[in-house]
A and B are shown apart, each in its own frame.
Chain A
Amino acid sequence: MLRRHFLFTTAGAALALSGAFTAPVSAADQELNIFWAEWDPANYLQELVNDFTKESGIKVTVSTTPWSDFQTKTFAELNAKGDSYDLIVGDSQWLGVGSEQGHWVDLTDFFTKHDLKNKFLPATISGYAEYPAGSNKFWAIPLEGDVNGWAYRKDWFEDPKEMTAFKAKYGYDLGVPKDQKQLRDIAEFFNRPDQKRYGVALYTDNSYDAMAMGVEQTIFTSGGSLGDYASYKVDGVVNSKESVAGLQAYHDLFKFTPPGWNKAFFAENNQAITEGLAAMSMNFFAFFPALANPKTNPHAAATGFFANPPGVGGAKFAALGGQGVSVVSYSKKQDLAMKFLEWFVKDETQKKWANLGGYTCSKAVLTSPEFLKATPYNQAFYDSMSIVRDFWATPEYAELLDQLNKRIYPFVISDKGTAQEVLDSVVKDWTATFNKYNRYKK
């Protein structure tokens, strides 16, 4: 309580200075504020909610901030119990913090009432809404489904000369890779620095979760794991033979990236395709519209898309992106927010959302033939969405992420250490963190 007392003394002093200027802003009562990162889906959402305003008279504003600051700004706001935003479209990893710290409103009753468990794709329920896993408690409505996929240069792949050369070198036909081994071979095959052509574009930015998403995906597909999310067991799991092979695979793929590829995320990876730099590029589906349009991608007609191929052992996984929308518990307009959610989960709204360019998680829409044919990548999106797997969602995920980044980055980029050493260190860091949060005490 000392803390609080301190705050008020300070507050008192400053209040005298500022009292005159902080007249309450009224006329904002019938207004909702949704917070999201700055990208196209947020603009689609703004367009979508204009309809809601027409119907209900409630004005809805989608406020955005750059991705790089999204997490910091959200938590600065939530930790101060701020009510600037009524709804936040938050990352899947935030469910743990959001629910345990009381930032998000419990939406379990809302889920039951609208039978949402059967309405949305199961993977999106566990990815964006439920916490802890299997608890049947829900904290968000799946809003923007997203998953890691691949774009590739069809024209390079289908060039007869390349096909013959490839067959001669590797003994099988060049085509969309059927497993991770083929993905590596193809990357190696097309990597020709003298022609300014490279094999593959990967995520390497370590300022948030970009690189971790790429790495976890190869770890999962080689049969490895980031730990048991229920029991917090990491030793022998994160540094298992399979996980080590997965990290090694990512490290080996990095050799076939364009020069200077060490702070790359979605923008760079899309540019790798639009500028004709890479044969294949990893990216989230939400960023593929730019690759389908000839105005933004000169190679649009020759760009194909595929879901992350399985590992040699057959494990099929893709890293989960995307976000669910949660009601902020400090908002003074929770009733309006609930009204908005009721409107949002309606079938017509979900359909309209998909038409505008949003990635609905509604089963009915996703399985409809018109959706699957609407873009060159929707089929691959649907395929990927059923094999998603995510990073940790515990409240301490940010620390885990930071520790992982610190260990894997020097290994993948600058070849420091070995995959085994790296993952052993990660196990050590993570165990310490889990101990700090008393995760092993029962």
Chain B
Amino acid sequence: MSTLSTQPPAPPRRTANRGISDLALRNLFIIPTVAFLIVFNIFPLIYSLGYSFTDFAANQNRPWQFVGIQNYRELLADEQIWTNFVITAKYVIVSVAGQMLVGFGLAMLLNRAFAFKGLVTTLLMLPMMMSAAVVGLFWQLLYSPSWGPINYIVGLGDFGLLSDADTALYAVAITDIWMWSPFVMLLSLAGLSAVPKHLYEAAAIDRASGWYTFTRITLPLVSPLLLIALIFRTMEAFKTFDLAYVLSVQPTTELISIKLYRLAFQQWDTGRSCALAYIVLIMVLAITNIYVKYLNKVKER
């Protein structure tokens, strides 16, 4: 890895011209991306922000009116929305915790040399390579108490894990865990393989216990990566739509993004849906901000 440090290949002749200045280069490298993101992410966002203060309905030709913060006020006072948030919170906690546990567990087990390790790792990643809509559709088949295999294997009889109002959310979370644990596994594995071997050797010489080695060496060194996995998975779980929408139509699995979709595209209440979208965005931003602050702290250690 470090062969290049002293001997760059074929150095060109020294000239007075140092190329473009560092500042210009920095701008050249950064500005296109930022501009691109502003045009394609921030413009629509401002647009939605504008709508969120109106009673605009995208399916009507009637003129829209400015309604101030009425959309926000009514949404925040609506019990139904809070139910949706509670469902979403439950879902995010169960599903992300499951993914972290399964993913990190798999990585711990995988973190040793054996034949076909690359193949096994790739195979384990297959679930996350599929489209959420297809995964949702097939898990619906798998969960069916009549023609799905899960009930026959697990021995649930006629009990529909996905169709029972109380367990449906967990059924959706299980599917999400199946699909995204490999992501956590991959990140953890990268972290684990980067832990310097000499630290373990030193621990072995000191006759440190397995638990001690794990909590004092492995975990601290892997934790930044685990946090990044946590950030991305939390964000994505909060936004889960395709998977849950294809799997279940129960009121007990109506995640906030499903509510949002219904408001925007079934009731065509564009103004209010934009307001709700903003509430969701602010929540995700807040959560992520906390994570990122914590991540920076962990990295500084």
Contacts and interface: CB of A to CB of B under 8 A. Distances in A.
A binds B: yes
Interface in A1-37: 3, 6, 10, 13-14, 17
A228 interface: no
The main secondary structure of chain A at its interface with chain B is helix
Contacts of B111: none
A83 B233 CA distance: 39
B58 A79 contact: yes
Interface of B: 39, 43, 47, 50, 58-61, 64, 140, 143-147, 158-160, 162-163, 165, 245, 248-251, 262, 265-269
A210 to B, nearest CB: 10
B59 A261 contact: no
A75 B59 contact: yes
A75 B268 contact: yes
A101 B146 contact: no
Given A101-B59, A259-B145, 15 more contacts: A101-B61, A196-B146, A258-B146, A259-B163, A263-B140, A263-B249, A275-B146, A277-B146, A395-B60, A398-B267, A401-B266, A409-B249, A409-B250, A409-B251, A414-B165
Chain B CB within 10 A, most for which of A14, A263, A399, A402: A263
A414 B41 CA distance: 41
A134 interface: no
A97 interface: yes
Given A79-B59, A275-B147, A263 B158 contact: no
Interface in A165-224: 193, 196, 205-207
B160 A260 contact: yes
Nearest to A210: B249
Given A206-B249, A259-B159, A413-B165, A13 B39 contact: yes
Interface in A204-258: 205-207, 258
Closest 7 CB pairs of A and B: A260-B160, A260-B163, A259-B158, A259-B145, A260-B145, A72-B265, A262-B163
Contacts of B158: 193, 259-260
Given A398-B268, A399-B267, A10 B146 contact: no
A271 interface: yes
Nearest to A81: B61
Contacts of A289: none
A78 B159 CA distance: 43
A194 to B, nearest CB: 10
B249 A97 contact: no
A275 B146 CA distance: 9
A336 B232 CA distance: 51
16 contacts: A6-B50, A13-B43, A72-B266, A75-B265, A101-B60, A193-B158, A196-B146, A258-B145, A258-B146, A259-B145, A259-B163, A262-B249, A263-B140, A263-B248, A263-B249, A395-B60
Nearest to B40: A14
A260 B146 CA distance: 8
B74 to A, nearest CB: 12
A102 interface: yes
A346 interface: no
Contacts of A314: none
Contacts of B146: 196, 258-260, 275, 277
A10 B61 contact: no
A271 B147 contact: yes
A398 B163 contact: no
A102 B60 CA distance: 10
A410 interface: yes
Contact of A402 (B159, B250, B262): B262
B250 A262 contact: yes
B188 to A, nearest CB: 35
Nearest to B165: A414
B241 to A, nearest CB: 13
Nearest to B261: A72
A164 B60 CA distance: 59
A102 B61 contact: yes
Contacts of B245: 207
A406 interface: yes
Interface string A380-413: 0000000000000001001101100010011001
Chain A CB within 10 A, most for which of B39, B47, B146, B147: B146
A371 B43 CA distance: 57
